[in-house]
Amino acid sequence: MNIGEIASRAGVSRSTVSYALSGKRSVSDATRKRIQDVIDELDYRPNAAARALKEGRTRTIGLVIPPASTRLTHMQLDFVASVVEAAARADLDVLLSPSGGDHDRSFERLLSGGRVDGVILMEIRLEDSRVRRLQNAKLPFVGIGHTARAEEMCWIDVDYAAVINQCVHHLADLGHTRIALVNRSVELVAAGYGPGHRARDGFTAALAQRGIQGIDLECGDDAAAGLECVTRLLREHPEVTAAATINEAALPGIQRGLEEAGLSVPRDFSLTGVVGRTWAEEFRPPLTAADVPAQDIGTQAMDLLIERIANPAAPRRNILLAPPVSLRASTGPARTGSAR
C-alpha cells in the first residue's frame, strides 16, 4: 500500500496526496477530506525510506554508546535517557550504536549516507579516530567528552580536573593528608581516555597546592575490581585515609572493601565521587560528590547537535561544566593518631 494506491482510491494524483499530507500547497477541503478518509480506512503510513531518500535526511540521530561488553554506569544511563528524551521532544528518533573500537561495523554503518542526520558520541578518548571519520563523512556530531584538540569538534564535558581538584581540597580541608585517586581502568587510561587523564591532572595539581601526598590508582569498571583495588590500597598504603574517585562502577566494590576491612565511612575513611545526584543520595552512606547534571548534559548535547545539523558551518561551541561538590555523609574529619 503506497501513495499511488491512496491517490487512485481517492481519485486524485499522487502529488495531490503528498500535498494534502504535507500542507506545502493548498488542497481543497473536499479533496483533503476524501484523501484523509481513504488514508484512515487503509491505515496508510508513508514509507520512511522513500521519504528519507528524497528529502535527504532521516530525522534520526545516532547515539554511540560504550560497547555492550561494558555495563553502563548510572551517569551514562542518564546521558542516554536524556538524549533519548530530548530527541523525542524534537520528534527525532535515536539509533543506538554500541561501539568503542576502530572497526565496529555498527559505527561503520552509521557513517553511511542516509542513515542518520547527526551523531552524539560518548566515551571519547584524547585521540579518537571516530572523530576524524565523522568529519570525513561530513556528518554533524557532538561529543559528550572531547579529544586532546578541543577546537576540532563541538562538545560538552564535565571538567574532571576541576572536580577532582575540588574533592581533594575538600578532603584536605578535613585534615586528610594521604589521599588516593581511584581512576578508571588501566586499559582505558592507557588508551587515552580523556576524563582519566584530566582527573589525574587535577589530582596531582591539588596535591601540589596543598603540599600533601597521594596514591594514583587505576581500577577496573566494576564492583569486583573496586573491591580488589581498595583491598590492595589498604594493604599497601595503610596511611591513606581518604579516596576520591571518578569510577562510578567501582564504588559498590570500594564500599564493600572498606566494610570488609572493618572501616566505617566516614569515621575511618572518607570517600568522594563524581556521579549523578540521585545515585549519590541512594548510596550508603549518601556520597559526597560532584553532582553531575547528567540530564542537562544530554539535553544540551542534543541542542548542540540540532543546531549543528541546521547550520554545519557555524562555529563549534564547547561547554565545560564543573559541578560543585555537594557535601553528604561519606566524608568526615581525618582520624588523628594511628586509629587503624
Q: Which residues of this chain interact with a second copy, rule CB under 8 A?
A: 43, 45-53, 58, 60, 63, 68-69, 71-72, 77, 81-82, 84-85, 88, 91, 93-99, 104-106, 109, 111-115, 136-137, 223, 252, 255-256, 278, 281-282, 284
From 40, 54, 211, 262, residue interacting with DNA (rule: CB under 7 A):
54
Which distant-in-sequence residues (6+ apart) come within 8 Å of 85 by Cβ? 298, 299
User: What single DSSP character describes residue 151?
Assistant: G
What's the closest the beta carbon of residue 110 comes to DNA, in angstroms?
15
Instruction: Report the nearest approach of DNA to the CB of residue 14 (Å).
Output: 5
- Residue 8 binds DNA (CB under 7 A): no
Question: What interhelical angle do 160-173 and 194-210 show, nearest 10?
Answer: 30
Report the alpha-carbon distance of residue 332 to residue 340 in Å, rounded.
16
233 contacts: CB under 8 Å, gap ≥ 6: 180, 215, 217, 240, 243
**In terms of CB distance, is 33 or 51 closer to a second copy?**
51
Least distance to a second copy, CB of residue 114, Å: 3
Q: Closest CB to DNA among 21 and 126? A: 21
Nearer to DNA (CB atom), residue 48 or residue 88: 48
Pairing of strands 288-291, 270-275: parallel
State the nearest-atom distance from the C-beta of 206 to DNA, in Å.
53
> Which of a second copy, DNA, none sits in contact with 18, Cβ below 5 to 8 A by type?
DNA
Residue 272 has what DSSP assignment?
E
Comparing CB distances to DNA, the nearer of 114 and 312 is 114
Mode of pairing for the β-strands spanning 325-326 and 288-291: antiparallel
C-alpha cell at 222: 566494576
Shortest approach of DNA to residue 97 CB, angstroms? 20
**Smaller CB distance to a second copy: residue 100 or 195?**
100
**Minimum CB distance to a second copy smaller for 69 or for 336:** 69
Is 58 near DNA (CB under 7 A)? no
For the chain, strand residue ranges (E) read: 60-65, 93-98, 118-122, 141-144, 155-158, 178-182, 213-217, 242-245, 270-275, 288-291, 318-321, 325-326
Q: Supply the minimum distance, in Å, between the C-beta of residue 327 and a second copy.
A: 19
Residue 323: cis peptide before it, omega within 30 degrees of 0: no
Distance (Å) of CA 38 to CA 26, 41, 47, 155: 19, 5, 16, 47
Q: Which of 37, 55, 236, 282 binds DNA (CB under 7 A)?
A: 55
| CA-to-CA separations, 14 to 2, 37, 141, 218, 301, in angstroms, rounded | 10, 15, 36, 63, 39
C-alpha cell at 202: 587535577
Q: Minimum Å distance from CB 8 to a second copy? A: 18
Report 78-117 residues binding DNA (CB under 7 A): 113-114
Partner interacting with residue 93 (select from a second copy, DNA, none; CB below 5-8 Å by kind): a second copy
Q: Which does 21 bind (CB under 5 to 8 A by kind): a second copy, DNA, none?
A: DNA
* Contact criterion met (CB below 8 Å) for 107 and 120: no
**10-49: contacts with DNA (CB under 7 A):** 11-19, 21-22, 24-32, 44-47
Judged by CB under 7 A, which of 2, 209, 264, 311 binds DNA? 2
Shortest distance (Å) from residue 166 CB to a second copy: 26
| Count of other CB atoms within 10 angstroms of residue 339 | 10
Give me the helices (H) in 175-250, please: 186-190, 194-210, 223-236
Residue numbers at the binding site for DNA (CB under 7 A) = 2-4, 11-19, 21-22, 24-32, 44-47, 50-51, 53-56, 113-114
